[in-house]
């Protein structure tokens, strides 16, 4: 993770990120101070102070963070939302259907930061780690909290991530990484993952900015609709856009990049009615 830039991952075409299961919103308010636009998404009915803490902090900090109460287990009103990154920290084991939620999130963002409790064995020593499985907690078994549900083995978590439509960019565990169990507070192991969606549309340019030089600059545009056929258009300096390429995925060279101009490449669905992704390309001056 040392080679990754957190803020760079969080800054993209949609101009906002989400903190799901944010508790009092401390991370969200911190990220706002770093110049990011943040939505807090939390379940008021299960939040330990019914979101009063987040609201008090929002007022005290004169914050623009949006606070939304959503029960992800009974509804999913977020399907139309798009985010540059989503934080899902300490929330996965509170969800009744973690597969569904991770699968839906993979369509909403390119990057997701996930942390959750995992276990190497049961309380009586039965091994969990070799198998892609999950342990269902009793209502009061873990921290006397009936909102705790699924504790995955490490292999189970990785299988879930893959089948829900994600690639693992970075992964680490902390705590009791040898004898962890699903519920014992002294044998608690946590997995932290940076995930990249396999189903979210992507559009990139390399290099960007294009290096300075005497001749016309060149960059390669790469795209993937993660679905049906698509079209890539380009607009120069805000003028009317023109067709650049047509296909579900691919790459094409743009060898006419000039210094002082901004080229916005836009990936659409096949009938040019839905913007899937966009990126601005510039050229460095000499």
Q: What is the CATH classification number for the domain harbouring 17?
A: 3.40.50.150
- The reply to whether 171 and 242 lie within a common domain is no
Q: Which of 139, 169, 197 is the last residue before a domain boundary? A: 197
277, pLDDT greater than 60: yes
Mean pLDDT of 280-284: 93
What's the burial of 239, exposed, middle or buried (CB within 10 Å: 0-12/13-18/19+)?
exposed
Per-residue pLDDT tens digits for 216-275: 999 999 898 988 899 999 999 999 999 999 999 899 999 999 999 999 999 999 999 999
Q: Which of 176, 197, 218 is the last residue before a domain boundary? A: 197
- The reply to whether 146 and 210 lie within a common domain is no
- The pLDDT of residue 241 is 97
3, pLDDT greater than 70: no
- The reply to whether 140 and 17 lie within a common domain is yes
Q: Which domain holds residue 123?
A: 6-197
Q: Please report whether residue 132 resides in a domain.
A: yes
Per-residue pLDDT tens digits for 96-114: 999 999 999 998 998 999 9
Lowest mean pLDDT among 32-41, 147-156, 196-205: 196-205
- The pLDDT of residue 107 is 87
- The pLDDT of residue 199 is 87
- The pLDDT of residue 2 is 41
The CATH number of the domain where 272 resides is what?
2.60.40.10
- The reply to whether 136 and 221 lie within a common domain is no
Mean pLDDT of 166-181: 96
- The reply to whether 260 and 137 lie within a common domain is no
- The reply to whether 264 and 216 lie within a common domain is yes
Q: Which of 131, 164, 197 is the last residue before a domain boundary? A: 197
- The reply to whether 13 and 144 lie within a common domain is yes
- The reply to whether 128 and 225 lie within a common domain is no
Per-residue pLDDT tens digits for 175-226: 999 999 999 999 999 999 999 898 888 888 888 899 999 899 999 998 989 8
Q: Please report whether residue 286 resides in a domain.
A: no
- The reply to whether 41 and 111 lie within a common domain is yes
- The reply to whether 263 and 137 lie within a common domain is no
Per-residue pLDDT tens digits for 4-17: 788 888 988 788 99
Lowest mean pLDDT among 25-34, 57-66, 212-221: 212-221
d(CA 223, CA 251): 6
Mean pLDDT of 161-173: 95
- The reply to whether 66 and 161 lie within a common domain is yes
**Total domains, the chain:** 2
Q: Please report whether residue 99 resides in a domain.
A: yes
Q: Please report whether residue 1 resides in a domain.
A: no
Place 26 in a pLDDT band, splitting at 50, 70 and 90: very high
- The reply to whether 132 and 260 lie within a common domain is no
Q: Please report whether residue 89 resides in a domain.
A: yes
Q: Please report, for residues 55, 235, 241, 269, 281, the alpha-carbon distance to residue 257 in angstroms, rounded to integers and kept in the order given.
A: 47, 12, 15, 25, 8
């Amino acid at each position: 993770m040392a080679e990754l830039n957190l803020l760079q991952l969080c800054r993209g075409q949609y101009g906002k990120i989400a903190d799901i299961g944010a508790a009092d919103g401390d991370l969200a308010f911190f990220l706002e101070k770093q110049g990011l636009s943040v939505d807090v998404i939390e379940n008021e009915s299960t939040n330990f102070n019914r979101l009063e803490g987040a609201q008090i902090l929002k007022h005290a900090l004169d914050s623009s963070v949006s606070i939304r109460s959503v029960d992800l287990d009974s509804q999913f009103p977020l399907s139309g939302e798009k985010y540059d990154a989503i934080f899902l920290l300490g929330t996965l084991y509170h969800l009744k259907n973690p597969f569904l939620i991770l699968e839906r999130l993979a369509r909403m963002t390119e990057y997701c930061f996930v942390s959750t409790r995992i276990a190497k064995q049961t309380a009586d020593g039965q091994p969990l780690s070799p198998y892609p499985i999950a342990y269902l907690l009793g209502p009061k078994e873990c921290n006397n909290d009936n909102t705790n549900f699924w504790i995955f083995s490490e292999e189970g978590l990785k299988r879930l991530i893959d089948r829900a439509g994600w690639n693992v960019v970075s992964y680490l565990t902390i705590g009791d990484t040898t004898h962890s169990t699903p519920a014992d507070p002294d044998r608690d192991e946590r997995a932290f993952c940076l995930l990249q969606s396999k189903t979210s549309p992507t559009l990139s340019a390399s290099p960007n900015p294009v290096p300075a030089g005497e001749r016309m600059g060149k960059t390669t545009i790469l795209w993937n609709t993660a679905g049906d056929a698509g079209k890539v258009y380009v607009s120069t300096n805000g003028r009317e856009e023109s067709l650049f390429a047509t296909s579900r995925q691919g790459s094409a060279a743009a060898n006419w990049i000039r210094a002082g101009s901004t080229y916005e490449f836009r990936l659409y669905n096949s009938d040019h009615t839905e913007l899937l992704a966009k990126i601005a390309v510039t050229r460095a001056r000499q």
